Chain A
């Protein structure tokens, strides 16, 4: 398994942000992480990125325990936060230069050139990042994430601020990397993106895991019941209409 989360808990003082979630993301899978605001999505991702320490539980990336072998785990990971903050004084190229040094990427320049061209950043290659628009900053952060060919990629709201071309490029790149064997986790409020792109779904609500299933399992279940329920309808039914967050087996969806 590329990404393993077992009984993950995260508390901030008395506030329970995440209360015991467990899931796995195998290689080649694109997992959609959805849930209302405050469900615990970003906390989960930040803990997996090594920014937050779990209160309890076991997290592993590419077979490396995040608590015991953090450096090896992080070397296999790319995390792009929902609002990427870049080093304002550095250019796009210098960001990639730093990432190459940090992740010890050999012969990184052709790969960097290719990424910059793919994301249409060539013209701004040597501009300081303080001059970039929100969408361009997002693209730079994604380029930095892709440069070291990570085995696990976590993207928090990856389409924010992007133009239609940028959206298409990112969607294609996600599919391509998953096909190449990367495990990908996407957190998003855009349910049509999740429906379109993801092969598995994890719904969180109030820090608890409400549903975890593959998209094929979900579709099969919905079709078997003779319903024509969209992901949006399912999401509302499980998160807003449900009286309390509780795990729902796929067979009961």
Chain B
């Protein structure tokens, strides 16, 4: 690799450090970095202690034979997933400055490929170190775990790149055919294993049949290259077995590497194209978070919306955010996906332990759904957070500041509340049991969401930042996220705690439910609306020239 590319790596590394130092030099940046550092150092110290210093008996280890058996299946699932669903058109991730400066500079294709691979591998080292600490219970030794994880991370990258190189080398149609053929090959392998398993099936238990397939010779030979990685990780000493597995894993990576260099003919154009697409997405993300990222339909809009009501200026502000929300179908998709993912655990637990979970499952599901929707306020940022580049326009509008604030908060509050009520209603209709939770959700979701989103916007206006960090060294952004979470918890404690306490006192004194609900509900309207004047003040003092983040 030419000296110039090493120099570029060095300069960029120094640049990140310089930016981090510059952040720390400001009061806000220093506070946020210290907060982030405090939590992160504590977490890292705990991990290091558990991984290296904790007495042998205190760390729970997963038996090596279990890891050796199931971990290769996870790797296989990744490979099949990449083959079936991986986007084969983006072999290597170049940034737009890299495309503009490096592609037209006197570097060969292979030099650029090496530059990118080296950069990715250097990033693998710290990632492997962290995973080695986290995954200490899987590994035989810390060092074998670290080494194996480095090999595994390399394998994952090389496999994806090699697959993408194939798609770039062979024409689109041929690639699709090839992919179909490869998938057919995988299906044939599974079918062969299935037949073997079927022949040797025990009774009619499908689980037993699957286990037979998994233990068949065909399947086991197919898994062998992936098992080398796992056996390297679970080795308990540097012996012949460890060296053999490690040599096998290194061999697999080398084969992939040779394949990548052999097929590097046409990756530059695909990389340039994907860099542009990625840059556009990142800009949208930085400008408006997921809300901005997913807005802006590619096709012309086929319907027209009615004029918004004025409501003293609140109407047009809310209307604009409403339109953005309606046209952000991906946001709803992300929300549904995360909710479904969060529900898998309780559902599996419910199936495994049916008797005990019958009563509690609806509560768990509904509770998790509510919590996820609260945690995902980043996704529903149809408010000031998605308007960071439009603050000038908002400030010049002939509308009082508090009405702008109400208009901005209205849509995310409505979206989140409607989503939560719909989710709770669905769980109630399917599983029952949660009538009281449904009633509380219908009544309380609006003020509570107003409180939470108000705090989000207040902290955003006080500590403005882009919704996607521009710099990997931007620790102050991570510190800010921690402050937002703490602020929400404190806000919840005050905004919800006071009405709940009043309700509890009323119930204790009167033993009357309607009075209790009234005693809790009406004060909650006041406490949860408290952020509105605070956000208004923060909006008024927001200095577009000084506070707009780069």
Shortest A109–chain B CB gap in Å is 15
| Complex CA distance for A70 and B279, rounded to whole angstroms | 27
Contacts of B100 in A (CB 8 A): 79, 81, 84-85
B7 and A79 contact, CB distance less than 8 A = no
Main secondary structure of the interface of B (DSSP, over half): helix
* Nearest A residue to B16, CB-CB: A89
Shortest A2–chain B CB gap in Å is 16
Is A49 close to B, CB under 8 A? yes
B 17-55 to A, binary, CB cutoff 8 A, 1 in contact else 0: 011000000000000000000000000000000000000
A87 and B99 contact, CB distance less than 8 A = no
Shortest A180–chain B CB gap in Å is 21
B7 and A51 contact, CB distance less than 8 A = no
| Complex CA distance for A77 and B4, rounded to whole angstroms | 17
Name the interface size band of chain A.
20 to 34
Give the total of B residues in contact with A, Cβ under 8 Å. 35
B108 and A70 contact, CB distance less than 8 A = yes
Shortest A244–chain B CB gap in Å is 26
Main secondary structure of the interface of A (DSSP, over half): mixed
| Complex CA distance for A84 and B96, rounded to whole angstroms | 9
A49 and B97 contact, CB distance less than 8 A = no
Is A88 close to B, CB under 8 A? yes
| Complex CA distance for A90 and B12, rounded to whole angstroms | 6
Given contacts A85-B279, A89-B12, contact A128 B19 (CB under 8 A): yes
A75 and B19 contact, CB distance less than 8 A = no
Contacts of B269 in A (CB 8 A): 51-53
Is B272 close to A, CB under 8 A? yes
B4 and A101 contact, CB distance less than 8 A = yes
Shortest A6–chain B CB gap in Å is 20
A 165-194 to B, binary, CB cutoff 8 A, 1 in contact else 0: 000000000000000000000000000000
Contacts of B8 in A (CB 8 A): 87, 98
For window 77-113 of chain B, which residues contact chain A by CB distance below 8 Å?
95-97, 99-108
Contacts of A46 in B (CB 8 A): 272
Is A131 close to B, CB under 8 A? yes
A77 and B7 contact, CB distance less than 8 A = no
For window 497-519 of chain B, which residues contact chain A by CB distance below 8 Å?
none
Shortest A83–chain B CB gap in Å is 9
B103 and A49 contact, CB distance less than 8 A = yes
A 89-115 to B, binary, CB cutoff 8 A, 1 in contact else 0: 111001001110111000000000000
Contacts of A71 in B (CB 8 A): 106-108
* Nearest A residue to B102, CB-CB: A102
B470 and A88 contact, CB distance less than 8 A = yes
| Complex CA distance for A52 and B96, rounded to whole angstroms | 14
Contacts of A84 in B (CB 8 A): 100
* Nearest A residue to B472, CB-CB: A89
Q: Which of B2, B99, B101, B470 has the most CB of A within 10 A?
A: B101
Contact partner, B7, options A50, A101, A128, Cβ 8 Å: A101
Contacts of A250 in B (CB 8 A): none
A 113-141 to B, binary, CB cutoff 8 A, 1 in contact else 0: 00000000000000010110000000000
Is B3 close to A, CB under 8 A? yes
Is A162 close to B, CB under 8 A? no
Contact partner, A89, options B3, B19, B104, B268, Cβ 8 Å: B19
Is A86 close to B, CB under 8 A? yes
B101 and A87 contact, CB distance less than 8 A = yes
| Complex CA distance for A79 and B105, rounded to whole angstroms | 9
B7 and A87 contact, CB distance less than 8 A = no
B12 and A51 contact, CB distance less than 8 A = no
| Complex CA distance for A84 and B2, rounded to whole angstroms | 24
- Chosen A-B contacts, 14 in total, with CB atoms closer than 8 Å, are A53-B266, A70-B108, A71-B108, A74-B107, A85-B95, A85-B279, A87-B101, A89-B471, A90-B11, A97-B7, A98-B101, A102-B105, A103-B105, A144-B101
- Given A85-B279, A90-B11: 4 more A-B contacts, CB < 8 Å: A74-B106, A85-B96, A101-B4, A102-B102
